[in-house]
Amino acid sequence: MNGGTTSGGRGNAGGARGGNGKENGNGSRPGSSSRAASTHISPARLVAVDVLEAVRADEAYANLLLPTRIRRAGLSRADAAFATELTYGTLRMQGFYDRVIELAANRPAEAIDPAVLDVLRLGAHQLLATRVATHAAVNEQVELARRVAPKAAGFANAVLRTISRTSPEEWRELVAEGTSGEDARLAAVTSHPEWIVRALRTALEHEGRGDELEALLHADNASPRVNLAVLPGLGVDTTGIDGFEPDRFSPIGAVAGDPIAAAEASGGRIRVQDEGSQLAALALSRAVPVRSGERWLDLCAGPGGKTAVLAAEALAGGARLSANETVPVRAELVRSAIAGVPLDVDVHVGDGRDLDLDVLGAPDGFDRILLDAPCTGLGALRRRPEARWRKAPADVAELTKLQGELFDSAFAALAPGGILAYVTCSPHTAETHGVLAAALRRAGSIAEQLDTRLVVEGLSQHPLDLAGAPETVQLWPHRHGTDAMFIALVRKRQGGASAAGAAR
């Protein structure tokens, strides 16, 4: 987008171009020797801009990197909260801020040095979405610009002051003016790629809730509260935890005044986990009563949050649990996640599409399998905001092929009467209903869909207001405050093909 001068005296910012044709002054990369230490920049802003750079340049994940950078910088609790808001808020609204910056600078974002653009995005967030004083936001961001590209400080100052002279509401109107069509307008003002807006519209319309699209898009940009899972049956004493209260839906869910501290002090028996993820694991473990000696499998287990819930449930019911993960590093995360549960869980590294049931210790098949399938992650954009800028429509076709292959492998590995939970953290209908319908056709008459809604509603502490067919459950951020988890329970009928005949 290359807007002209804005109306009402807002004007635009110029700026000298560096030798590479971009607004960078000397073209130096963040982290180079041009970054002189400055007493004028708050530690929270330094952490935030460093994480933004790593997300952009190195494809880092903010949810993994930010806690490490906060600890390394020794931030106070208040500064850590500020750095978190700056980082996540900027990433969520990056598309909108880029359009604002383009209008203020009168040039496309691609023509601005990426490191300087990081600084401008961070400044736009402070000016348009926080209570930070204008002078503080502008002055400190100019100092940050001076660090990453000394000759770009004047350009940054002009752009940020131009942004500050217009209200957030007016900027939304100006950004919307440059779009054509409702989906394009919503994409621009709510900072989503347009293809994601269309996909979410389709998913909502599948449940007769198409009029909730804007509410969902805004929910994607809200900071989610931190939910806790108190692993059941482990004798966790919660009486001394400040602000501890049961959560709304999950029977093992909770909130606390300092949830991170509560989890860290629990020896792995209290975990930070979205309620939707808790319900997905519990839907499998509590779909029917557990018989002692059952064999369970978490097929795509990394990083291990749902595995930990299943481990506690298996321990309580006398079941045995195995976990499979393709990536060795993620398999180690699974082992770490289940360390607080006194159950011997076999963690295997291998391709979930090529299971060796003898190696997994279940030659006759598994009684319950959780397939938390790799997906686009469109249901967790609140927590992983950079994902919206990294995914593309082509990813959906690749992932649905993988999801279908994993479903077939999991269903083949079920013992007769066994139950498979197909779960995604994406509401994209191709990944949910599309994959499920195709897999059921391939399985034929031995596949029986269970009343997943009845199971999940039976778990919930409060009414969930679910829609759609009872065989599946779709949770939503704007309705349930959870990630947009999809859950479907499928049973292999008694008398179906034995697992040994269908898997190695």
pLDDT tens-digit map of 464-478: 999 988 999 999 999
Q: What pLDDT digit, counting tens, does each position of 452-463 carry?
A: 999 999 999 899
161/190 same-domain check: no
Q: What pLDDT digit, counting tens, does each position of 377-426 carry?
A: 999 999 999 999 999 999 999 999 999 999 999 999 999 999 999 999 99
Asked if the structure places residue 167 within a domain, the reply is: yes
- Provide the CATH number for the domain around residue 132: 1.10.940.10
| Number of domains into which the chain is organized | 3
- Say what the pLDDT of residue 3 is: 40
115/213 same-domain check: no
Can you read off the two tokens belonging to residue 499? 């697992």
300/322 same-domain check: yes
Asked if the structure places residue 324 within a domain, the reply is: yes
Rounded to the nearest integer, the mean pLDDT of the chain is: 92
Asked if the structure places residue 14 within a domain, the reply is: no
- Provide the CATH number for the domain around residue 293: 3.40.50.150
Cα dist. 19→28, 107, 151 in Å?
Answer: 11, 17, 12
57/121 same-domain check: yes
φ, ψ for residue 206, nearest 5 deg = -60, -25
Asked if the structure places residue 231 within a domain, the reply is: no
Report yes or no: 309 and 423 within 8 Å, Cβ to Cβ.
no
375 is in an annotated binding site: no
Domain that holds residue 328: 273-502
Region 180-191: mean pLDDT is: 97
209/136 same-domain check: no
305/332 same-domain check: yes
Asked if the structure places residue 169 within a domain, the reply is: yes
Asked if the structure places residue 1 within a domain, the reply is: no
Active site residue 375: no
- For the beta carbon of residue 202, count every other beta carbon within 10 angstroms: 15
202/296 same-domain check: no
267 is in an annotated binding site: no
372 is in an annotated binding site: yes
304 is in an annotated binding site: yes
Report yes or no: 17 and 141 within 8 Å, Cβ to Cβ.
no
Report yes or no: 389 and 96 within 8 Å, Cβ to Cβ.
no
Region 315-344: mean pLDDT is: 97
How far separated are the first and last CA of the chain, in Å rounded?
54
372/487 same-domain check: yes
Q: Which of 196-200, 238-242, 250-254 has the lowest mean pLDDT?
A: 238-242
342/436 same-domain check: yes
478/396 same-domain check: yes
492/405 same-domain check: yes
Q: pTM of the prediction? A: 0.89
Q: Given 314, 396, 425, 443, which residue is catalytic?
A: 425
152/213 same-domain check: no
